[in-house]
A and B are shown apart, each in its own frame.
Chain A
């Protein structure tokens, strides 16, 4: 038996006036709003890092090993102004784009096979298990042997760096589409390609986008590394070649400028292109934070 006896209290009802004491919503202060901007916070980190670099380089005082931040910035500015870096970048990016697009096409082909047939599924899982741990750059010697010193070799390696992570992510994305959504789509008579393009792809877009991002990062790294290995074909080299050449001539500030350019291009693509795509799609739809 319970020994607890809460007291019996009188009941009451009260009329509620409209709430006017203060507004229900309040704006955040300017500082809070500024601090919420991720770009601003990251910029702050970059400034701190640059200052640190400058400090260490001045203290080291060895231009050949570690040029200062300001010297690197000057070299970067100069080669940007002369157009040399831009030309190198354009060469690198044009090769990259070919490999990237081919890789995407191949990834969608394989994923489509994997979604529709058991054999395709086995094919995808076996090949990704094999090639995902293999750095694409390790295929470069073979690629050079097969395709010779030229763009084709680079593109072959790039396709490998994009294909497997993208296929894996896209496939996982398709598997993750909720059953209810699939049934809803079929309910309206969607079949085949219309079903894939109007239900599966948009529903799997967060995974596909992350696959595209990973693929892009892999491809960019692989390309620079490949250019460092065999450099130019018919006198036209990309960013990797620029770094390699300047190291040979001991222009360390230019080596740093080249590295900075590699980073800047990576950041620009990540922050401008992918971020914008995410903002107008998956973030807007509330399927990704």
Chain B
């Protein structure tokens, strides 16, 4: 109930004055693609039940590069897994294009941090083709054509027939990204995809991801614990506080890109986020 009420507030009908000027397309682009309302997530250990996030609400719009940023223990990965459908919410709702998102599905493809997300028994091409066939999105011929297209986009055409164990970490993540993009999901979910890479490769991958976003155009929900990565990759950042994860702030970061790394504004934004995330530890007070 509360979720649908919240949705109505987001819909253009809430602003009847300007409604007439809008075309249907504009109206559609105004509604959130992914809407999370009052989401509480819990997970169970053998001894206790742990509350990972508490009443989190965010809206991700079409074309967003939305970043979930927070220290470890803030439930950001759990939140992403809930959006992916691997975890049932304890409370609250997740809507994708107005429909409740329930269970894992190929409309929300995840790129994980771990390299073992690629089945080692499939070559690069087979890895990209696999989900297209498994989800019965395409027939083999079309799937192979589309796979070749996206493998080319991530620059791995030379390695199409190679098995994952022969690839470097960065290349494996590129395959995972190509695989996810080939599915043409409604939203692409990335769970610290570059955290296991070395610093130079990570920088290159961030650059390539932004280039892909310019080129292909997708909606991204990106989890990271790096303030710098959040500012670079995202256009909007939700800051989560730890134990349990709650939204501390939402910040715009569309102004920053790789060129602004050293500049003063970037440093200020970074310091601001740092203060927001860690003020409780420094001052010792509660909000």
Q: How far is the CB of A191 from chain B (nearest CB, A)?
A: 9
Contacts of A181 in B (CB 8 A): 116-117, 119
Q: Does B12 contact A (CB under 8 A)?
A: no
Query: Is B131 touching A187 in the complex (CB atoms < 8 A)?
Result: yes
Query: Is A183 touching B165 in the complex (CB atoms < 8 A)?
Result: no
Contacts of A202 in B (CB 8 A): 119, 121
Query: Is A187 touching B114 in the complex (CB atoms < 8 A)?
Result: no
Given A189-B104, A189-B106, A286-B166, decide whether A183 and B86 contact each other with a Cβ distance below 8 A.
yes
In chain B, what residue has the closest Cβ to A199? B119
Given A188-B130, A189-B104, decide whether A183 and B110 contact each other with a Cβ distance below 8 A.
yes
Q: How far is the CB of A209 from chain B (nearest CB, A)?
A: 12
Q: Does B98 contact A (CB under 8 A)?
A: no
Interface residues on A, range: 20 to 34
Majority-rule SS of A interface residues: helix
Contacts of A287 in B (CB 8 A): 120-121, 165
Q: Does B163 contact A (CB under 8 A)?
A: yes
Q: How far is the CB of A27 from chain B (nearest CB, A)?
A: 20
Contacts of B134 in A (CB 8 A): 185, 188-190, 194, 198
Residues of chain B at interface, number, CB under 8 A = 26
Query: How many residue pairs between the two chains, A and B, have CB atoms under 8 Å in the bound complex?
Result: 67
In chain B, what residue has the closest Cβ to A281? B121
In the complex, A184→B121 CA distance in Å? 14
Query: Is A286 touching B165 in the complex (CB atoms < 8 A)?
Result: yes
In the complex, A205→B119 CA distance in Å? 12
Q: How far is the CB of B104 from chain A (nearest CB, A)?
A: 4
Q: How far is the CB of B129 from chain A (nearest CB, A)?
A: 11
Contacts of A203 in B (CB 8 A): 119, 121
Given A194-B134, A198-B134, A286-B166, decide whether A187 and B84 contact each other with a Cβ distance below 8 A.
yes
Contact with B along A149-187 (1 / 0, CB 8 A): 000000000000000000000000000001011011111
Q: How far is the CB of B137 from chain A (nearest CB, A)?
A: 9
Q: How far is the CB of A253 from chain B (nearest CB, A)?
A: 48
Question: Which residues of chain B (97-129) have a CB below 8 Å from chain A?
Answer: 104-106, 108-110, 112, 114, 116-121
In the complex, A190→B105 CA distance in Å? 9
Question: Which residues of chain A (78-114) have a CB below 8 Å from chain B?
Answer: none
In the complex, A183→B119 CA distance in Å? 12
Contacts of B121 in A (CB 8 A): 202-203, 205, 281, 285, 287
In the complex, A133→B93 CA distance in Å? 52
Q: Does A284 contact B (CB under 8 A)?
A: yes
Query: Is B104 touching A183 in the complex (CB atoms < 8 A)?
Result: yes
Contacts of A189 in B (CB 8 A): 104-106, 134-135
Q: Which 8 A-B pairs have the closest CB atoms?
A: A286-B165, A188-B131, A188-B134, A180-B114, A285-B120, A186-B104, A178-B116, A180-B117
